[in-house]
Amino acid sequence: MISAFARRLGQTVTVLFGISVLVFLVFFATPGSDPTARIAGRNASPETMAAVRHEYGFDRPLPVQYVRMMGRLFVTRDLASFVDHGELVVPEVIDAAPVTLSLVAGAAVIWIVASVAMGTVAAALRGTLVDRGLMMLGLVGISMPVFWLGEVANLVTQSRYHQTWLFSWVPGLGYAPLTQGPVAWFTHLAIPWCVLAVLFIGIYGRVLRADLVSAYGEDFMRTARAKGLSETRVLLRHGLRTSLITFVSLFGLDFAQLVGGGALLTEVVFGLQGVGRLTYQGLINLDLPLIMATVMYSAVFVVLANAVVDLVYLLLDPRVRDGL
């Protein structure tokens, strides 16, 4: 157990190191990305450029620059933006993280519940109209771009039908932290949650149905039916339980990439100041410290999520426990 934990920790550090080096190098190899010009402003004199270059340490060798940046990012945490004159990036990320986390976690709950229900019902009624209808609905959900769906949702809930009893509870766009009370937090996020979840409900529902239908061909499902169990029990206790593996691995990846900034479009449409938006700003301005901070943050989540997925595997499948 301890050795597994240590191995996981070692992997995490390696992955983070690799990603940081890569991002750092890409940044310095990108034409037109010279940070000196950005900091010094337009038409700066060569003297100013030289002064800025020296002040920010851009005249030092790359490895030294890298180590200094990592030190300021992880140790002293006073890494400042190159663009927003002195804005500290670590607090920026720390402020944005709860917004994204709230958004993604809520959406994840919705999409897990909805897609398990959808996939299971479709598999139980496979071949019927209900099955086809649900799968069609899933396909529609997958095909709708999230920014379009979000705009439509905004149109409906914020303006067109805002006065009706149905949507009068929807507050204006933006985020309300949990410290302002759970109700405000919930009402601000309810619509973004649903919009973000739609795509994943479609994908997960279809994947789960496919896995369940192929599970019906397994010998152990026949045994379970031969035991005289009810169809529901066969499906849930034998089929669903063994079909969750793909579901869980998909979930780990999607959840991590969303928390790491992948929910950008949803964040923009609903005016949420999350990590996705922050990364986006960093990228347009080629603001290396900000990019570095958000990428590191996102990498931590991907590695963490994979660790959790591995743990869930252990719970789901005893064969993994025995290292088979």
Partner 1 sequence: MGSEAPLLEVRDLTIALPAGRGGWTRIVEGVSFSIGAGEILGLVGESGSGKSMTALALMGLIDAPGARITGSARYRGQELIGLDRRRMRALRGAEIAMIFQDPMTAMTPVHTIGWQIDEQIRAHRRLSRAGARARTVQLLSEMGVPDPERAAGRYPHQLSGGLRQRAMIAMALSCDPSLLIADEPTTALDVTVQAQILDLLRRLRRDHGSAVLLITHDMGVVAETCDRTMVLYAGTVAERGPTAALFARPAHPYTAGLLDSIPPLRGARPARLPQIAGAPPNPAERPDGCPFQPRCAFGHDACGVRPALVACGAPGDGQAVACVLPSEGRPLPARLA
Candidates 80, 210, 225, 308; binder of partner 1 (CB under 8 A) is: 225
Task: State how far the Cα of 175 lies from the Cα of 96, in Å rounded to an integer.
Answer: 10
Task: State how far the Cα of 195 lies from the Cα of 154, in Å rounded to an integer.
Answer: 10
Closer to partner 1 by CB, 32 or 228: give it.
228
Q: Is the dihedral of CA 106, 278, 203, 158 positive or negative?
A: positive
Q: Determine, following the binding rule CB under 8 A, whether residue 56 of this chain makes contact with partner 1.
A: no
Candidates 1, 75, 226, 284; binder of partner 1 (CB under 8 A) is: 226
Closer to partner 1 by CB, 32 or 318: give it.
318
Candidates 12, 48, 242, 249; binder of partner 1 (CB under 8 A) is: 242
Task: State how far the Cα of 242 lies from the Cα of 235, in Å rounded to an integer.
Answer: 10
User: Cα–Cα distances in Å, from 241 out to 66, 138, 235?
Assistant: 47, 22, 9
Candidates 55, 67, 227, 232; binder of partner 1 (CB under 8 A) is: 227
Question: What is the footprint of partner 1 within residues 121-140 (CB under 8 A)?
Answer: 127
Closer to partner 1 by CB, 84 or 218: give it.
218
The span of 54-62, 148-156, 220-228, 258-266 binding partner 1 (CB under 8 A) equals 220-228
Candidates 238, 262, 264, 282; binder of partner 1 (CB under 8 A) is: 238
Candidates 216, 248, 286, 307; binder of partner 1 (CB under 8 A) is: 216
Closer to partner 1 by CB, 130 or 183: give it.
130
Place of tokens 């983070």: 16
Q: Determine, following the binding rule CB under 8 A, whether residue 249 of this chain makes contact with partner 1.
A: no
Q: Determine, following the binding rule CB under 8 A, whether residue 77 of this chain makes contact with partner 1.
A: no
Task: For residue 88, report the phi and psi dihedrals to the nearest 5 degrees.
Answer: -75, 130
Report residue 266 as tokens: 């949803």
Least gap, CB of 123 to partner 1 (angstroms): 13
Closer to partner 1 by CB, 166 or 315: give it.
315
Binding mask 176-215 for partner 1 (x = CB under 8 A): ----------------------------------------
Whether 298 contacts 14, CB under 8 Å? no
Q: Say how many residues make up the chain.
A: 324
Task: State how far the Cα of 154 lies from the Cα of 172, in Å rounded to an integer.
Answer: 9
Q: Determine, following the binding rule CB under 8 A, whether residue 230 of this chain makes contact with partner 1.
A: yes
Closer to partner 1 by CB, 122 or 259: give it.
122
Task: State how far the Cα of 21 lies from the Cα of 290, in Å rounded to an integer.
Answer: 15
Task: State how far the Cα of 143 lies from the Cα of 201, in Å rounded to an integer.
Answer: 12
Whether 103 contacts 272, CB under 8 Å? yes
Question: What is the footprint of partner 1 within residues 280-299 (CB under 8 A)?
Answer: none
Contacts with partner 1 by CB under 8 A: the residue count is: 26
Q: Is the dihedral of CA 109, 111, 114, 117 positive or negative?
A: negative
User: Cα–Cα distances in Å, from 133 out to 48, 112, 137, 170, 199?
Assistant: 66, 19, 6, 30, 16
| DSSP label at residue 180 | G
Candidates 42, 47, 61, 219; binder of partner 1 (CB under 8 A) is: 219
Please report, as ranges, the residues that interact with partner 1 according to CB under 8 A.
127, 216, 218-220, 222-231, 233, 237-238, 241-242, 316-319, 322, 324
